Amino acid sequence: MSILNLGSAKNKFSFLPTNFNKHKFSINYGTPHNPLLRQMQNMGKKQCLTDKCWPENSQIHAWMITAETATFMKCGGLGMVASELPENYNSVFAAQKSDITIITPMYLGDTGRKKCTFEDDVYTGAEGRQIKLKKLCTVKVPFMGSRNRFCHFKAEVYSGNLNGADYLFLHNDRFFSINPAAENPSGQGGCYVLNSLHVDEVERFAFLSKAVYCLLESIALNQIKNIRLPNMLLANDWHSGAISGLTKYLTLAKVYAERLAPETAEQLSNIPVIHIAHHMGYQGWDYNNTSKILNSLYEDLATLVLKNAKAVKNSNPRTVNTLLVGDTYNQASCNMHLADRIVTVSKNYMEEVSREKSFGFDFRDILKIRKNCRSFFGIVNGYEKKLISPNAKKIEQINSYFGDTQFKVYNEHSLQNKLHNKKECIKLLSHLAADTNYRQKVIPNIDTYGFGSILPVLHEAENIPFICMTSRLVEQKGYDIAVNAILRMADKYRNSPQDFPIFVLGGAGNKDLFHDLMALKDNTKQICRDFAKRIFVFHGYNDQFAYSVQLAADFYLMPSYFEPCGLTQMEAMAKGSLPIATSTGGLVDTIQDGVDGFRTEVFFADGNRVYGPNLQAQHLKNNINAYFETLEKAIRCFYTSPKQLHQMQRTAMENDFSWSIPNGSVYKYDKLFHTGGL
């Protein structure tokens, strides 16, 4: 086992040895005599235990540091937060002259599915939105290049405004190119590609953090005068997870090396960093490039920083250093330890990740400490109701797209139109089943299996539950739980006098899960052919098709294994489709069981009860049993209590999860910005 050596003299700073982490090593923290190094060693403890006064700012000028935005590069929910939180915050708090600026890469290139261009001062992002930009400045970013050569790269800074939010775009041809390499993994798309210069996602977003730090330092040093220094930094998930290490460690190391004035270091270190954690399963690991990335971030001070990056005392031997998890660079790690506050995207998910290792992974203990010390909070993501409620323009487009449908707009006061839409969707499914040419024309990217006409049930539509699940085909969404529940239902109710439900299940993603859905259709046919006729399974995604199914559905299946916040249940409720969900993450915070949806009484993770009473957990034993019981309860409500069901649909549609409603999420963020707490 080797011990990382650190020269004590100021002139003997060094990069970390190449691949040091691929050999057994230990870090002996010792007790440094220098007060700067003691401060560095105590930083992890100080940040986790909130031993720090929160700054008083009458006006907030924050930067949202993000790899994704819904406007220009959307790959998931974190992109929606990056755009919608600043847009709504700026609108609500304009009178107070508080604002959030979005700082994000200017991606250029073409992945085959997403294309970004910059021509004549107009940037066109991957989502087709355009923004006129003005170049403000160029910053030099010390970072490792190819063959581990230390270089000074340029990052050009451009500004623009869209939807009431200011944007700062960082341009660099090497790191923010999204032209994929020939060996780019098939699952890596958008801003996550291995690009043609062999820059992967972790290196790309480490450069993002470093470029933001260099910009901050240049502003603080008065080298850049046309950009205001922010008084708050919002780090949007693991992508910007290195930023607190740079503002708190690198500044101290530079003072120690006499490369930065103590006053400037203090100014940068005192800018609060709020880390927004979306899903703890994504952390930005890079074992092979551990030394390269740490050297890129901390330069020839990397050994000094690593040797003093001591974590708060916790019971996980893999998280004793704030820069590494075990022997691997982990981009989320630094902010987990050093951010001034951490926010995750629902209260219940906050409880899960700070209590269960299967949710919090290596950071469970750190998050538990932070929760107990009031530096970790849960705030549910907002979702603009106008974007997800039945929309006249969208429905008109759908009718035009399919050619022979007549879907109608409806709200909580006109649910008879939802019944009409159920009939329209039954006709659409039957048309897709009967006419191969039509199917290939309108849903060319969707593979269907065993679609058959169900037109004979049209006159009974009011008495038939319509149930859908159009989430991505990934393990997280719990399609296997749904398959088991439906099979059990077919077996139990094969001789029922009531009409069998209609199920529409599928999405883009894992083909193995599509094969499971095909097997569901086949196995159900062995149990009850009439039941199986009403099961429609598919693979692929078409927005018009998914939207039309949701307009028709009475229920939406969400048997998720985890759901940090969840947006699908909000979309479903806005359309009067009652979610039938497992009691995990944000589903607990957003679905009131028996009021605007249905949730399992208990929830298990790794065989252990995570949610619900112990007695019921002993009775149900696992998530499959719990979900089948909940599915039964929902369908029984449809058959026996139509008035209750309609009231639940009205309540669901009345829900408003918009950011800026009274006491909505934007107000919670503002309170956190001003007080450091909720």
Tens digit of pLDDT for each residue in 126-147? Answer: 999 999 999 999 999 999 998 8
Query: Which amino acid is present at 434?
Result: A
Looking at the structure of the chain, the number of domains it has is 2
Domain identity same for 350 and 476:
no
Residue 588 CA to residue 563 CA, distance in Å, equals: 10
Cα separation of 274 and 362, whole Å? 20
Question: pLDDT tens digits, residue range 367-419?
Answer: 999 999 999 999 999 998 888 999 999 999 999 999 999 999 999 999 999 99
Q: Does the residue 58 lie in any domain?
A: no
- DSSP designation for 205: H
DSSP reduced 3-state for 472: coil
Integer Cα distance of 551 and 409 in angstroms: 9
Are 223 and 323 found together in one domain? yes
Same structural domain, 376 and 473 = no
Are 202 and 329 in contact by the 8 Å Cβ rule? The answer is yes
Residue 11 is predicted with a pLDDT of 47
pLDDT digits over 258-305, tens only?
999 999 999 999 999 999 999 999 999 999 999 999 999 999 999 999
CA distances from 52 to 47, 76, 339, 676 (A): 7, 34, 12, 10
For residue 28, name the pLDDT band (cuts at 50, 70, 90).
Answer: confident
- Pairing assessment for the beta strands 273-277 and 232-236 based on DSSP bridges: parallel
Q: 272 with 232: CB under 8 angstroms? A: yes
Percent of the chain with pLDDT over 90: 92
Q: What pLDDT sits at residue 12?
A: 66
Q: In 10 A of CB 611, how many CB atoms?
A: 22
Task: Find all residues with CB under 8 Å of 643, minimum gap 6, and list them.
Answer: none
What's the 3-state SS for 279-300? CCCCCCEECCCHHHHHHHHHHH
pLDDT in tens, 207-253: 999 999 999 999 999 999 999 999 999 999 999 999 999 999 999 99
Strands (E) in 358-472, as ranges, are 376-378, 447-449, 466-469
Same-domain status, 375 and 496? no
Decide if 648 is inside a domain.
Answer: yes
Q: Please give the mean pLDDT across all residues of the chain.
A: 95
Asked if the structure places residue 6 within a domain, the reply is no
Q: Is residue 249 situated within a structural domain?
A: yes
Q: CB neighbours (10 Å) of residue 592? A: 15
Are both 671 and 622 inside the same structural domain?
Answer: no
pLDDT band at 1 (very low <50, low <70, confident <90, very high): very low
DSSP letter assigned to residue 69:
B
Shared domain for 607 and 670, answered yes or no, is no
Rounded Cα gap, residues 668 and 675, in angstroms:
10
Per-residue pLDDT reduced to its tens digit, 174-203: 999 999 999 998 778 899 999 999 999 999
Query: Could you tell me if 574 and 586 are in contact, meaning their C-beta atoms sit under 8 angstroms apart?
Result: no
- Say if 512 falls within a structural domain: yes
Per-residue confidence band for 620, with pLDDT thresholds at 50, 70 and 90: very high
Checking if the pLDDT of 5 tops 50, the result is no
Do 598 and 671 fall within a single domain? no
Assess if residue 265 is contained within a domain: yes
- Alpha-carbon distance 292 to 525, whole Å? 56
Give the CATH number for residue 309: 3.40.50.2000
* Pairwise CA distance, residues 167 & 217, whole Å: 19
The three-state secondary structure class of 627 is helix
375 part of a folded domain: yes
Residue 51, pLDDT score: 64
Q: Cβ contacts of residue 330 below 8 Å, gap of 6+?
A: 241, 283, 284, 285, 324, 362
C-alpha span between 293 and 16 (Å, rounded) = 10
- Please tell me the distance from the alpha carbon of residue 137 to that of residue 215, in angstroms, as a whole number: 9
What domain range is 207 assigned to? 43-49+67-107+200-384+666-675
If asked whether residues 378 and 473 sit together in one domain, one would say no
487 and 370 housed in the same domain: no
Residue 220 has a pLDDT of: 98
Residues 227 and 352 reside in one and the same domain: yes
DSSP state of 325: E
Asked whether residue 152 is assigned to any structural domain, the reply reads no
Is residue 471 located within the same domain as residue 379?
no
- Does one domain contain both 267 and 337? yes
406-464: per-residue pLDDT in tens? Answer: 999 999 999 999 999 999 999 999 999 999 999 999 999 999 999 999 999 999 999 99
What is the spatial distance between Cα 605 and Cα 612, in angstroms, rounded to a whole number? 12
DSSP 97-161: T-EEEEEEE--BEE-SS-EEEEETTEEE-TTS-EEE-EEEEEEEEEEE-GGG-EEEEEEEEEEEE
Task: In whole angstroms, give the CA distance from residue 390 to residue 386.
Answer: 8
pLDDT in tens, 513-537: 999 999 999 999 999 999 999 999 9
Residue 9: the pLDDT is 39
What is the number of residues in the chain? Answer: 678
